[in-house]
Amino acid sequence: MALQTYFADMHIHIGRDMYQKPVKITGSKSLTLTNILKECSRNKGIDLVGVIDSHAPAVQQEIRQLIGAKDAYELTDGGIRFEKVTLLLGSEIEVYDESCQGPIHVLCYFPTLETIERFSQWLTTRMKNITLSSQRYYGTAKELQYKVKELEGIFIPAHVFTPFKSMYGKGVKRSLTEVLDPDLIDGIELGLSSDTGMADQIKELHDYTFVSNSDAHSLAKIAREYQEVLMEEPSFKEFYWALHQVNGREITRNFGMNPQLGKYHTTVCKDCLHALSPEQKQCPACGSTKIIKGVADRIKELKDTKEVIERPPYLYQVPLEYLPTLGPKTFEKLLSHFQTEMNIIHHVPMSQLKTVVPEKLAQSIIHMREGKLAIKAGGGGKYGSITPIN
């Protein structure tokens, strides 16, 4: 088979299991496994999706039910095929051992249902509630890495710069080697408030492939960030090879929101969200001493190189729902004409867009495609926003 490109979003949560019990408590109730697969296949145009709450027994039961009904099947090279999308079985885990300065989140992916079931059985001896998402793991980060690799899995530190529960936010003082075995890391997830150029200011990250994922807590947020991957087909083995540039497989482009749209980009007062410099210890607006250091300022602290290395292009985009004046009815109209969100974002020409939506909205879609949207920066837990076209 010839190599071709596929779109992948590898960090999706599950809000409710098949019994309508919560998995990711803050996740949408409509964010079920089956709904995720349908949304990716039918509306988003995502070819490879990582569901990182697949360690939950009820989620595994739902997968087996889909396979039993012949709505899905396991691939020889790993992964579960449902319609036009391949599911990779993942788990997001919170690590806080004596090496960590604070809790960090990591992503673990497994090739088969059998291997993630074995992983879940192991986790039950090191986790209080296996049915929920992103739970505290009791053990060292390196022990977790060793178990993932024993089960032939993929290990990726998650959203590594966010102020909370990330490797560089609070997890380490200076280096990932304080917590992890660097040889057992398969990639680095950037997170919504950083991009390739920002991350490459830290030299120890130069050896790793960067992934950009949505961390979706609702169906609409799927593909908020994603990547284009050159593979023979969407599967576990092919994705692993792409992370390590094996036999021509590679990530060819990262797509994500401009870091200024991320909700932790700038340093702000936690109580009133007043913008602050990283040196300020007290908010001049409300007097609070609770400060959330922005990702941009944290990276400046960690910066240790000016070396420029060759990376896939990182293109700024937002989901269609972020565009001003694009309401639910207009979105449905676009999908009915052009099938998937990926098709609308990447391929439909301006002339065809104008036959379905007003010219200003069509122009916004083209501006987004070209990375030209005007934005207002976010910070302190509040997302940035898109400035409408006049």
Per-residue pLDDT band at 133 (split at 50, 70, 90): very high
Per-residue pLDDT band at 280 (split at 50, 70, 90): confident
Instruction: State the burial class of residue 292 (Cβ atoms within 10 Å of its Cβ: 0-12, 13-18, 19+).
Output: buried
What is the Rg, in whole angstroms, of the alpha carbon atoms belonging to the chain?
Answer: 20
How large a percentage of the chain has pLDDT more than 70? 95
Measuring CA to CA, which residue among 160, 172, 164 is closest to residue 210? 160
Predicted confidence at residue 256, as pLDDT, reads: 87
Predicted confidence at residue 286, as pLDDT, reads: 92
**CA of residue 178 relative to chain centroid, distance:** 24
- H helices of 140-278, in order, are 141-150, 196-199, 236-243
Q: What is the mean pLDDT of residues 305-322?
A: 87
Count CB atoms within 10 A of the CB of residue 277: 8
Measuring CA to CA, which residue among 105, 106, 137, 103 is closest to residue 120? 137
**205: pLDDT strictly greater than 80:** yes
Tell how strand 250-256 and strand 48-51 pair up: unpaired
Predicted confidence at residue 292, as pLDDT, reads: 85
Predicted confidence at residue 136, as pLDDT, reads: 93
Class of domain 4-258 as given by CATH: alpha beta
Mean pLDDT of the chain: 91
- For 120-145, give one letter per residue: b (16+ CB within 10 A) or e: bebbeebbeebbbbbbebebbbeebb
**301: pLDDT strictly greater than 80:** yes
Tell how strand 314-316 and strand 250-256 pair up: parallel
| Residues 85, 37 contacting (CB under 8 angstroms) | yes
Per-residue pLDDT band at 38 (split at 50, 70, 90): very high
Least confident of 178-192, 348-362, 369-383: 369-383
Q: What's the Cα-to-Cα distance from 305 to each of 157, 182, 203, rounded to whole Å?
A: 21, 19, 6
Q: What is the mean pLDDT of residues 155-179?
A: 89
Enter the tokens of residue 96. Answer: 């806080």
| Structural domain spans, the chain | 4-258
How large a percentage of the chain has pLDDT more than 90? 68
**378: pLDDT strictly greater than 60:** no
For residue range 252-277, list pLDDT tens digits in order. 999 988 777 766 778 888 888 888 88
For residue range 282-299, list pLDDT tens digits in order. 999 899 988 888 888 888
